[in-house]
Structure 1
Amino acid sequence: MSYVVAVRALCEFTAKQGDLDLRFTPAPSSQEGIEGHQLVAARRGPGYEAELSLQGAHKGLSVRGRADGYDPVTKRLEEVKTFKGRLDTQPDSHRQLHWAQLKVYGALLCQRSGLAELELALVYFNVGSQQETVLTQRCGAVELQQHFELLCERFLAWAGQELEHRAARDAALTALQFPFDGFREGQRVLAEAVYRAAASGQCLLAQAPTGIGKTVGTLFPLLKAAPAQQLDKIFFLAAKTSGRQLALDALQRIAARPLRVLELVARDKACEHPDKACHGQSCPLAAGFYDRLPAARRAAVAQAAPLNQARLRELALEHQVCPYYLSQEMVRWSDVVVGDYNYYFDVTALLHGFTSVNQWKVGLLVDEAHNLVERGRKMYSAELQPAGLAAARKSPAAGTSTALKKALDKVHRAWNALNKAQQPDYQVYDSFPDKLLLALQQCCSAITEHLAEHPTQVDAALQGFYFEALHLVRMAELLDRHSMVDMGRQPGIKGAVLSVRNLVPAPFLRPRFEACGTSTLFSATLQPPHYFSDLLGLPASHRGLEVASPFSAEQLRVRVAGHISTRYQRRAASLAPITALMAEQFKQQPGNYLAFFSSYDYLQQVALQFMQDHPEIPLWQQSRRMAEAEQQQFLARFTDHSRGIGFAVLGGSFAEGIDLPGRRLIGAFVATLGLPQINPVNEQIRLRMQALFGAGYDYTYLYPGLQKVVQAAGRVIRGSSDRGVVHLIDDRFARAEVQALLPGWWKLS
């Protein structure tokens, strides 16, 4: 069995040395890169071969890749690198890596075609000016083969180790046993469906009730399927920290060595020196990073325990390398990666990029998948804030650069013209305003040139606006029916906010699902399934699963308070009856309860009324922007022996992803349908959803609202011995169309 490695991965492993150098250098977007490569190829003569697939071998190491272009007449092989700004600011280490890659491609081409020599050309293409800078070398086949073999020799020991690891990993996973005495009711059904989806290379949308062990019930079968399906990696993606921790805990229990597990965290949480720039002259963990990386990498793969955030940090500091960039390196050598949605689904997602470049076969698990609709929308939305532009215009750079000031002022004028022309506070545009788009494009080019000429200068205001503007321009250029352009004035903000607002993330997410070997999206609230398949862009061949609840109606009493309306205009009248209902339930059955409300304001109004009417009953409240320690204190109030009511916001951090089994929680009050607020933005979304799917109100208001209700109510029954009560407080809960979206095992009274 040979070890397969991509040309780029081989060169990055063997040819990188010196400092980690991430001083700001403007980079083309992936689309700009593709267009740049296409333009260079179009300029070449007839017979030019673009995207040339090459492969070769050395001592059991199989190397493959795709060279950018080859002219068989002149025998010239090209590697095209797109860039922005000035080429002379490129670090030497980057140039060395580019030559290393091109020489490997040259060796592979000489092997394939029996060539005695080649002209190698590094083509640097400026996406702004569309000018080419070409660097050439003429190399003989013997020289290129020696270079190829040298890099392969450096990699062979590691490749052999990795082959041994893969064989041991697959043997261990084939023999893997379920980590508990037996499956919970419903858990086996879920596990079998995940296994079948992996075996057939399909996408699975699985609704399974809270409390059956979905994390173990999805990880175990996918791990079990990995050897036979030749999965290179499993990505477990979660919306929240709690979801990642559940996965890490499950993996610790399911599988021992030699499975390699890695947790990815955000850069701001992993950075040891946030006051320093990412290059060797500033940060001590960047200096000599690639020289110390091999030892850190060897130590990392030798770990018995999962490389969670704490362990990875400890290991990185032992070797004096950056924890964040060590974690990125270890993605290549890990079997299971646990991280946030954005690592695979975002515009420039790390995991998706690695998957494409290395041609990995990946198994994807998406936890609490109902969250992916809103998170996906945010990833592909962009806005221009007046404060950001104002700060950029006052930045030190704008004060010293005439060209920069002129470009920023042009954006300001175009934006002001829109502001003045807009009569209502909120307006939707048929397309992105042309003059503003041109001004933003020109401004981005000016900032690109400035930052390229001053790579060591840190100007946070300018860079912040630059990234905001780049993303907005990118989304404006991709504008279609899946998004809309709007502009609105907001309280406390001078000037209007311009947005490209994504409404249907499906066109952006669909290619990510197609790039997987198999994928499973799971949650307790995926009703109705067509809503999620429409908005997330699931493959037409995807399978659906609804796991029957293992819980009985006798375990959970669900009562509808149809005499109370929580509509905004009737809230004042609702306070007294809500507090009376809650107090009556508490007196009948003292214990711990959660009460959910549609907003902090409503929560505080009911809490104040409750404290006045029933001061003898303990209560504690969720507050805005709670720190993690404060959230833990809130949850710590729920013990087996405590009594009281925790007031929380529906859709917030206490409405899903928390586990309070047994006597820690015996009931919940949901004083809202959870419907999004009726406002101009949501009404425009409703119109678009009606046009696209014929279900404007349902897609905009009803389905998202009731998903939050079911998630919140799901905190009550967590196990087979739990008993509890849920009060649904609003007259609309009595409607047939609303009850049809609630769990079928609930018996409402």
Structure 2
Amino acid sequence: MTVEIVNTGPVDTAAAGPRYRVAVRALCEFTAKTGDLDLRFTPSPTAQEGIAGHGVVTSRRDDDYEKEIALSGDFGPLHVRGRADGYDPKRNQLEEIKTFRGELDRMPGNHRALHWAQLKVYGHLLCAARGLPSLRLALVYYDIGSQKETHLVEEHASASLRAYFEAQCGLFLAWAEMELAHRAARDEQLKALRFPHADFRPGQRELAEAMFKASARSCALLAQAPTGIGKSVGSLFPLLKAAAAHGHDKIFFLAAKTSGRRMALDAVESIRAGAPLLPLRTLELAARSTACEHPDKACHGESCPLAKGFYDRLPAARAAAVREPMLDRAGVRAVALAHDVCPYYLQSELVRWADVIVGDYNYYFDVTAMLHSLTVMNEWRIAVLADEAHNMVSRARKMYSAELEHAGLRLLRKTAPGALKKALDRVHRQWSALEKEQDGDYRAYDALPDKFVNALQTAATDIGDYMAENPAWFDADVLDFYFAVLHFTRLAESFGEHSVFDVTIANRGAGGGTRVDSVLCLRNIVPAPFLQPRFAAARTTALFSATLSPWNYYSDTLGMPADTAWVDVASPFQAAQLTVHIAGHISTRYQHRDRSLAPIARLMGEQYDSQPGNYLAFFSSFDYMDKAADLFAREHPHVTVWRQPRRMDETAREAFLARFTATGQGVGFAVLGGAFGEGIDLPGTRLIGAFIATLGLPQLNPVNERIRERMQAIFGAGYDYTYLYPGMQKVVQAAGRVIRTTSDTGTVHLIDDRFARPDIRALLPAWWHVPR
């Protein structure tokens, strides 16, 4: 739903002025949804199945059948628009097509009521556009399984459809006018918004100006900006100013970790503290697993008390929520419980009314990302901020990869209902055939095995049909397998050179058995084709991090638009703050690691004795780390040593960091690329140095070699894109833990002879003084 200033034509109640654009679906969801939150009429067809189902239905119509009819109309300040599915001019029949599977009688009544509401609004818009005196309305329900259509038909005069349209608009009008007032007040305050601090930090103004210019040009931005300049405020502030100047409806601030989301919320609070009259609504998105109040209950009114009458109580909860400027996880929960509604689904509703939305990358960039879907449906004008964007490549690869384990299927075949046995057995047979034709432990395929994929699709359909026909039945293992298969088959539909299908043998039959277990992976290598529509849907997308060099690696792999701007913000730090040493006489290559332990322990001991304090020592693996820590502890018993545990929860993480006190002394041993290589802040004497005994290169294995081959074929830079750039990004991030403020000083030892190479040195921060 979007506010805009337009010149209006004849309207029902108001003169020309600010207009509120609202999609037909969004209008009806606001006015016509009542009753329980009920997810039992599941599983719904996938998006691809829905598109295919629409295609089947429309292909059965005559040649003069009109599809995807753009319609719009006005009511006072409301501008309502959308696309009707189809119109048969011979029968004067407008159709709304809905795909489903299972028994139609089990569809909750409030779902059907919503479908009729949408169709009636479309009916009025069509009558008004074409001067029709009456119209046949048909809800067409298409069963994905049986491919049968069920038609529910009503005849309506144009006058009755107009009355219905006006009634729905009337129900929404008061809210829309409130939103118009909110938007006007918000933008007025944003125009006058001043930077929340007395002055910009060094580098912060340059970052802010680049963000604003990218929004003005409506282009994407890659911004490399050093730690310590206040990137969260430095990026959010200019885009808030741009919201008023360039017409942004919303800003999505996306982060890789909880700490990044917290920094974004803190930045909002800082900005609002300097502008107490700013009516800025900020929403934090929490995962369902953390937001659910009753994880032991199903999402319907007969099971969960917060689903019972959800849509009846939603208006009051929504009205209360939008009066709260800060709706972090705790704030949403408080409002939800005060009105007896589900916090998770309340936050989903509040996305429509928030100005700044803070969440994880997946909410916008994932396969079924909610924020992207709503943006497209509502035609929002958005700005996207992605913090710590050096994580985007690995995170996006995971989003668009899928994995299945044969061992899990074997167990499922023993416990699944009899009606599913045949389909699961077929998957098992095709899977076993893949294992039998495999010589080694790993094999990558240039194409997907059609018979196996077809067996998966059949199994998904059978499970979906069984669940729809038996809504009271529940089996967590079957459900997990079902969703994993849906994800796999969805990605299989877009398989191409950006991905690889591979089989890894996990078990060859312990104790002399013949059974083979394997893991199948549809592994995304280049996420660019999937992310490009996300970039295209935003007015501007700014990816920022302290380590985004070389920019072409991120631009290529992520699929950034051709006109993407690049800014490398000068560091506020001076070379004199950081002493950098290269241990060029030591090799940390795998075959040299045992020989490297003694010289590394000696180097660390000499540094510590010359300047006692807190240090971090990074290694490429837990095994290497443990050997180095054991030797160092034996040879330097006077130095306190602690190390990163192999399995670490939040308590263990906090305990590790708690050892780094302002007056403490000792060495913390950690794994490069783990929890302590980035995202931690230990300013001043809490950390005075780091030892990095690795280039951080990914492990040499068949998977990474396949990635290297594909990167070479696509970009001509296989080794750099697979090993060198990702590895050095981890090194620079880890070293960046040492200097956090302009008053910090410290030492970094880069331990490996390859750090002396010119191509490696070129990837180190420009402000470092690295001795030759």
TM range (shorter): over 0.9
Aligned partner (choices 292, 313, 322) of residue 301 of structure 1? 322
Q: What letter corresponds to residue 492 of structure 2 in structure 1?
A: A
Q: What letter corresponds to residue 585 of structure 2 in structure 1?
A: H
Matched, 1:566 2:588: yes
Shift of residue 448, structure 1, vs aligned partner: 1.2
Residue 669 of structure 2 corresponds to: 647
| TM alignment of 1:185-224, pairs within 5 A | 185-224=202-241
Check whether the contact 1:391–1:461 (CA below 8 A) recurs between aligned residues: no
Q: Matched residues in 2 for 1:40 and 1:659: separation? A: 58
Equivalent position SS for 2:85: strand
Q: Matched residues in 2 for 1:70 and 1:682: separation? A: 52
Shift of residue 24, structure 1, vs aligned partner: 6.0
Give CA deviations for 1:115-162 in whole Å, capped at 9, x if unaligned: 211101111123344332221111111221121111111111111111
Residue 511 of structure 1 corresponds to: 533
Moved more, 209-218 or 626-635: 626-635
Q: Cα RMSD over matched residues?
A: 1.4
Aligned partner (choices 130, 133, 136) of residue 113 of structure 1? 130
Residue 291 of structure 1 corresponds to: 312
Normalising by the residue count of structure 1, what TM-score does the alignment of the two structures yield?
0.97
Q: Matched residues in 2 for 1:371 and 1:462: separation? A: 32
Aligned partner (choices 284, 296, 300) of residue 263 of structure 1? 284
Give CA deviations for 1:465-485 in whole Å, capped at 9, x if unaligned: 111111111222211000011
Aligned partner (choices 532, 543, 554) of residue 532 of structure 1? 554
Matched, 1:615 2:637: yes
Residue 429 of structure 1 corresponds to: 445
Check whether the contact 2:41–2:471 (CA below 8 A) recurs between aligned residues: yes
Moved more, 124-133 or 285-294: 124-133
Q: What letter corresponds to residue 173 of structure 1 in structure 2?
A: L
Shift of residue 367, structure 1, vs aligned partner: 0.7
| TM alignment of 1:44-193, pairs within 5 A | 44-193=61-210
Shift of residue 717, structure 1, vs aligned partner: 1.0
Q: Matched residues in 2 for 1:600 and 1:313: separation? A: 40
Matched, 1:366 2:386: yes
Check whether the contact 2:211–2:542 (CA below 8 A) recurs between aligned residues: yes
Matched, 1:3 2:23: no
Give CA deviations for 1:181-213 in whole Å, capped at 9, x if unaligned: 111111111110100000110001111111111
Shift of residue 242, structure 1, vs aligned partner: 0.7
Q: Matched residues in 1 for 2:82 and 2:450: separation? A: 41
Check whether the contact 1:301–1:333 (CA below 8 A) recurs between aligned residues: yes
| TM alignment of 1:629-708, pairs within 5 A | 629-708=651-730
Q: What letter corresponds to residue 720 of structure 2 in structure 1?
A: D
Shift of residue 103, structure 1, vs aligned partner: 0.6
Matched, 1:349 2:369: yes
Q: Matched residues in 2 for 1:79 and 1:134: separation? A: 10
Equivalent position SS for 1:490: strand
Q: What letter corresponds to residue 34 of structure 2 in structure 1?
A: Q
Matched, 1:439 2:455: yes
Q: Matched residues in 2 for 1:259 and 1:193: separation? A: 23
Moved more, 615-624 or 157-166: 615-624
Moved more, 474-483 or 352-361: 474-483
Shift of residue 491, structure 1, vs aligned partner: 5.7
| TM alignment of 1:292-331, pairs within 5 A | 292-304=313-325, 306-331=326-351
Equivalent position SS for 1:220: helix
Check whether the contact 2:41–2:108 (CA below 8 A) recurs between aligned residues: no
Shift of residue 497, structure 1, vs aligned partner: 0.9
Shift of residue 648, structure 1, vs aligned partner: 1.6
Residue 730 of structure 1 corresponds to: 752
Shift of residue 263, structure 1, vs aligned partner: 0.4
Shift of residue 653, structure 1, vs aligned partner: 1.7
Shift of residue 47, structure 1, vs aligned partner: 2.6
Shift of residue 437, structure 1, vs aligned partner: 1.3
Shift of residue 652, structure 1, vs aligned partner: 1.4
Shift of residue 2, structure 1, vs aligned partner: 2.1
Q: Matched residues in 1 for 2:746 and 2:189: separation? A: 41
Normalising by the residue count of structure 2, what TM-score does the alignment of the two structures yield?
0.94
Moved more, 604-613 or 699-708: 604-613
Give CA deviations for 1:425-455 in whole Å, capped at 9, x if unaligned: 1111121112211211111111111111111
Q: Percent identity over the alignment?
A: 63
Q: What letter corresponds to residue 331 of structure 1 in structure 2?
A: V
Q: What letter corresponds to residue 420 of structure 1 in structure 2?
A: K
Q: Matched residues in 2 for 1:250 and 1:272: separation? A: 28
Q: Matched residues in 2 for 1:491 and 1:571: separation? A: 29
Q: Matched residues in 2 for 1:374 and 1:566: separation? A: 24
| TM alignment of 1:600-611, pairs within 5 A | 600-611=622-633
Shift of residue 492, structure 1, vs aligned partner: 8.8
- Structure 1 outlier segments of 4+, above 4 Å: 491-494
Aligned partner (choices 400, 407, 412) of residue 423 of structure 2? 407
Matched, 1:278 2:299: yes
Listed as ranges, the gaps of 5+ residues in structure 1 are: none
Residue 11 of structure 2 corresponds to: none
Check whether the contact 2:508–2:517 (CA below 8 A) recurs between aligned residues: no
Shift of residue 261, structure 1, vs aligned partner: 0.4
Equivalent position SS for 2:38: coil
Equivalent position SS for 2:72: strand
Q: Matched residues in 2 for 1:371 and 1:24: separation? A: 37
Shift of residue 570, structure 1, vs aligned partner: 1.6
Check whether the contact 2:75–2:169 (CA below 8 A) recurs between aligned residues: yes
Check whether the contact 2:549–2:763 (CA below 8 A) recurs between aligned residues: yes
Q: Matched residues in 1 for 2:184 and 2:371: separation? A: 23
Change in Cα spacing, 1:625 to 1:120, as seen in structure 2 (3 Å) is farther
Q: What letter corresponds to residue 587 of structure 1 in structure 2?
A: D
Matched, 1:382 2:402: yes
Q: Matched residues in 2 for 1:720 and 1:152: separation? A: 57
Q: What letter corresponds to residue 385 of structure 1 in structure 2?
A: E
| TM alignment of 1:442-481, pairs within 5 A | 442-481=458-497
Check whether the contact 1:195–1:225 (CA below 8 A) recurs between aligned residues: yes
Listed as ranges, the gaps of 5+ residues in structure 2 are: 1-17, 510-515
Aligned partner (choices 364, 382, 391) of residue 411 of structure 2? 391
Q: How many residues align?
A: 744
Shift of residue 671, structure 1, vs aligned partner: 1.0
Check whether the contact 1:621–1:646 (CA below 8 A) recurs between aligned residues: yes
Q: Matched residues in 2 for 1:320 and 1:612: separation? A: 60
Residue 9 of structure 2 corresponds to: none
Shift of residue 71, structure 1, vs aligned partner: 2.0
Matched, 1:744 2:760: no
Give CA deviations for 1:352-403 in whole Å, capped at 9, x if unaligned: 01101111000000111111101111111112111321232122x42xx2x3
Q: Matched residues in 2 for 1:530 and 1:215: separation? A: 24
Equivalent position SS for 1:747: coil
Aligned partner (choices 563, 581, 604) of residue 603 of structure 2? 581
Q: Matched residues in 2 for 1:728 and 1:684: separation? A: 29
Shift of residue 683, structure 1, vs aligned partner: 0.6
Check whether the contact 2:507–2:518 (CA below 8 A) recurs between aligned residues: no
Give CA deviations for 1:72-105 in whole Å, capped at 9, x if unaligned: 3321111111223332332221111101111111
Residue 337 of structure 1 corresponds to: 357
Q: What letter corresponds to residue 31 of structure 2 in structure 1?
A: T
Check whether the contact 1:407–1:442 (CA below 8 A) recurs between aligned residues: yes
Equivalent position SS for 1:550: coil
Equivalent position SS for 2:94: strand
Change in Cα spacing, 1:548 to 1:479, as seen in structure 2 (3 Å) is same
Give CA deviations for 1:690-715 in whole Å, capped at 9, x if unaligned: 11111111111000000000111111
